[in-house]
Structures are given as structure tokens and as C-alpha cells.
Amino acid sequence: MLSYRHGFHAGNHADVIKHVLLVQLTRYLGQKDKPFWFIDTHAGAGRYALDSAQASKLAEHREGIGRLWQRRDLPAAVEEYVELVRRFNPDGRLQIYPGSPALALETLRADDRLRLYELHSRDVLRLRENFAAHARQVIVEAADGFSALKALLPPPPRRALVLIDPAYEEKRDYERVVLALKDSLARFPGGTYLLWYPRLTRLEAHELPQRLKRLPAKSWLHVTLQVRKPAADGFGMHGSGLFVINPAWTLLATLQEVMPFLVQALGVDEGAGFSLESQEP
């Protein structure tokens, strides 16, 4: 079992690669005048104090955003992401890490909208608190994000970025993400979908990318970041992957520049590396 409640892992290597892509995708969608929605099926608390009991227990941010915080040689896409995190830490000390909803809100325009879903009772309360000042633009619901997609898609503006990053605590989560994407593509084939998954030794994680490639999507991009070699006992996450359906056409070139840097910056041992593949229409 993988326990991946957002607060325990805020700012780690998985957040870095996920949020670099998220920022690139929201910026790309924002280039057109027409508004769009950002939908987060597993939003967590939205932002995290890195000295909290959860985040400080493992202090995974030190091996993630912490390794980028003081660097001045960041590729443009990484620099853009780090600058957004710095907005939440105006005194220059890394104390707050913005989750996906907070980063998305920073990049969205006044007419764009956020739809955030979270089932954990404490996290959804904090999520509501964190976005209470943005009630006109943000709707938070204590609901299952997988089920919510069926009611939301297609969204009124017919433009959306859907982020799906469940905890994968149960084997059925691997099945649910495939079924959710298949159903979503039937309802809203033109949407952009960003799926995060953990790199683990378990069979379900290994098989997931091939299952995703068989979905009825005209274009996709698949990127993985491995920061260490798998543990001998098979325990723990050694990297993460992101599968993007209908990606921005600029994303592949951006990642070709970014990924070697992230391997160098975040890699722990000789097992560090990346993979990058795509399918065009």
C-alpha cells in the first residue's frame, strides 16, 4: 500500500515535476481569450505549512523544491514554477508550499474557474478555508472526484484542464483512473487531462502506462522522473510519472530541456533518470 496524503509529501520530487507541467498547461490554455476550468479531483488541503506535523515528519520538500530554492541556473519552465512558489514565501524562506489548486489559481485569469474535490474530512475543511476569499472563482466540494467528473464534463466553456492524482492507496485506484479517463474522453474528448501516478515496484504501477496508451486519445505525452533506484525490499516510491492527454504542443520541447536538469538536481543515486515519449494526432 502507498500512503500518499498530500500533506505528508508537500514539495517533494513528485510535486516538482507535476507542478512544472501544471503551470505550463494552465499558461498555455490562458493564451486564448476564452475562459477555461481547472478541475482537481483530489485537491488535498490546497496549501501546506512545511513546519506542520505532517510535512515535517518526512520533510520530503528538502529533496524536492528545497533543492531548487536557491539555484540561479533553472530552465525557464522550472524558474516560472519556482517563482510562483516564492509568491507564497515573500520573505525568501521556504515555509509554505502551494498545492495544485493554489498554483493553478495563481496562473488563472478572472474569468477562469476552479472546481476542487476532496473526500478527506480534515483536508476539505482546510481547503475551504484556504480558498474562502475566492468564492466567486472557486467551488470546493467534499465529494469523490472520480464521480464528480461525470457531472462536470463537458464544462460550460468547453475548455478545461483536469488534474487526477489520487493517493493510490488501494489497488482499485489504478483501475479507477483508467475508467475515469475513458469515460471523460467520451464526454469531453477535447479536454486536457493530467494524470499523476507513482513509480513503484508493484505490478499495477508498472502496467498503468500501457493501459493509458490504449485509451481513445488522439494525442498524449508520457514523462517519468526517477530519482533513485528501486529499494531492494520493493518498498517506497522511487519516482513518478505523468500522462497528459491533449497536451500543449509546446510541452514536449519544454520537457526535453527540463528533464535532464531535474534528474541532475533531484537525483539521489545512479538510478536517477527520465523517460519522455509522445503521440501526435
Q: What is the pLDDT of residues 151-190, one digit of tens each?
A: 999 999 999 999 999 989 888 999 999 999 999 999 999 9
**Residue 121 domain-assigned (yes or no):** yes
Residue with cell 529499494: 231
273-279 and 220-226: which strand pairing? Answer: antiparallel
Please give the span between the terminal C-alpha atoms of the chain, in angstroms, as a whole number. Answer: 36
Q: Which amino acid is at 48?
A: Y
CA atoms 189, 192, 196, 201: torsion sign: positive
In sequence order, what are the residues at sequence separation of 6 or more whose Cβ sits closer than 8 angstroms to the Cβ of residue 79?
none
The answer, yes or no, to whether residue 1 has pLDDT greater than 50, is no
Kindly report, residue by residue over 179-231, the tens digit of the pLDDT: 999 999 999 999 999 999 999 998 999 999 999 999 999 999 999 999 999 98
- Residue list, annotated binding site for S-adenosyl-L-methionine: 19, 42, 100, 118, 144-145, 165
In a domain, 252, yes or no: no
Q: Which band of pLDDT confidence, cut at 50, 70 and 90, is reported for residue 5?
A: low
CATH number assigned to the domain comprising residue 35? 3.40.50.150
Query: Residue 137 pLDDT > 70, yes or no?
Result: yes
**3-class DSSP state for residue 90?**
coil
Rounded average pLDDT over 10-37 = 97
Identify whether the C-beta of residue 95 lies closer than 8 Å to the C-beta of residue 38: no
- Per the domain annotation, does 214 fall within a domain? yes
Numbered residues of the known binding site? 19, 42, 100, 118, 144-145, 165
Does 146 fall in a domain?
A: yes
3-class SS shares of the chain: helix, strand, coil, % to 5: 40, 20, 40
Active site residue 183: no
Q: Among the options 165, 173, 183, 269, which is catalytic?
A: 165
Alpha helices (H) along 34-171: 53-58, 76-87, 100-107, 121-130, 145-152
C-alpha–C-alpha distance, residues 276 and 259, integer Å: 9
DSSP for 195-221, written as a single string = EEEEE-SSHHHHHHHHHHHTSS-S-EE
Q: Is residue 25 part of a domain?
A: yes
pLDDT of residue 3: 43
Report yes or no: 195 and 240 within 8 Å, Cβ to Cβ.
no
From 6, 8, 12, 7, select the one nearest 65 (Cα to Cα): 12
Give the chain's length. 281
- What strand order describes the sheet that includes 273-279? 138-141, 113-117, 37-40, 160-164, 192-199, 239-245, 220-226, 273-279
State the total domains in the chain.
Answer: 1
pLDDT band of residue 7 (cuts 50, 70, 90) is low
pLDDT at 171: 87
44 has pLDDT over 50: yes
Q: Is residue 229 part of a domain?
A: no
The answer as to whether 267 is a domain residue is no
Across the chain, mean pLDDT equals: 94
Q: Is residue 244 part of a domain?
A: no
| Cβ atoms of 46 and 116 closer than 8 Å | yes
Q: Which domain holds residue 144?
A: 6-219
pLDDT at 4 over 80: no
